[in-house]
Amino acid sequence: MFEARLVQGALLKKVLEAIKDLINEATWDCAATGISLQAMDNSHVSLVSLTLRSDGFDKFRCDRNLSLGMNLGSMGKILKCAANDDIITIKAQDDADTVTFVFEAPNQEKVSDYEMKLMNLDTEHLGIPETDYSVIVKMPASEFQRICRDLSQIGDSVSITCTKDGVRFSSSGDLGTGNIKLSQTANVDKEEESVIIEMQEPVSLNFALRYLNSFTKATPLAAQVQLSLSPDVPLAWFRLISLRLLLSTKLKKLATSDTTWLPKLKMQKNKSFIRQYYVNLSIKIPHCLKDFILHCFNY
């Protein structure tokens, strides 16, 4: 039997809200150490990887490893029936074809339960190599969300340029151009409101704004976002207690002779890979969320 009780039920709702527009179906792998999910979207452009540690739950029981295939749209509809302060419990029997969601009011005056049919999904887990970055920018998550939203009114892509003077976000389109520059600042009282830049070398990369705007839906999970950028780096590794979002640059597809990293990243329905530039956005979130990765590859 599997049972996981989360006192902060709103956390699960926020996580699902951040990923449901990128993937429609996914398998939740349940083990004694926690719950994990890894899935690509239908176009094989984005990859989501998420881990909820068992010690983040009020109660966690997993007698044997289970794989629960779910339609995230349907799961989202059920979670909308829970109030933000409700306690959420997920239950499933061994070899069952359904999963049960139980919502409890804090005062225990109201208890609701919903049953959802499971799906049989083919899944493939990807190995992601570690990577060093040329630039690391830490800034308020809400500010980054605002920048992506504002520049999407101007163009379809954004250029992120980091120098010793600061970080600049630029976009251009039919109606004109837009530029937003942030200088490095330090707030001793509120670290999450600071803009901190750690730079090994200057970097200038371009990214699709529609994916960045999807990524910023995770903003309610954290006060600060970390952007890690580096040229010629295809992937980034995730850290504990963090949310990472990765997006390839909007460049022409160029052939490459360096394919040493390809065996580590085996993807379905795709035989060729293009080495491009990537951005990694890491957001600190509550401790029960170990790792949450979104990878977007522009091929």
CA gap 205, 161 in Å, rounded: 7
Residue with tokens 């799961």: 75
Please tell me whether the overall predicted TM-score, pTM, comes out greater than 0.85 for this model.
no
95 Cβ partners below 8 Å, 6+ apart? none
206, 17, 237, 211: CA torsion to nearest 10: -10
- The whole-chain average pLDDT of the chain stands at 78
Give the residue-averaged pLDDT of 255-271. Answer: 36
Nearest to 250 by CA among 278, 225, 223, 288: 278
* pLDDT tens digit sequence for 80-114: 999 999 999 999 998 889 999 999 999 989 999 99
CA-to-CA separations, 85 to 11, 130, 173, in angstroms, rounded: 10, 37, 43
Average pLDDT over residues 157-181: 93
Kindly report the backbone phi and psi dihedral angles of residue 214, in degrees, each rounded to the nearest multiple of 5, phi listed first.
-65, -40
Q: Is 159 helix (H, G, I), strand (E, B) or coil?
A: strand
Which tens digits make up the pLDDT trace of 179-231? 999 998 877 678 778 899 999 999 888 888 887 888 888 888 888 888 888 88
Instruction: Give Dmax (Cα) for the chain.
Output: 64
Contact status, residue 164 vs residue 191, Cβ threshold 8 Å:
no
pLDDT surpasses 50 at 261: no
- How confident is the model over 254-272, as a mean pLDDT? 35
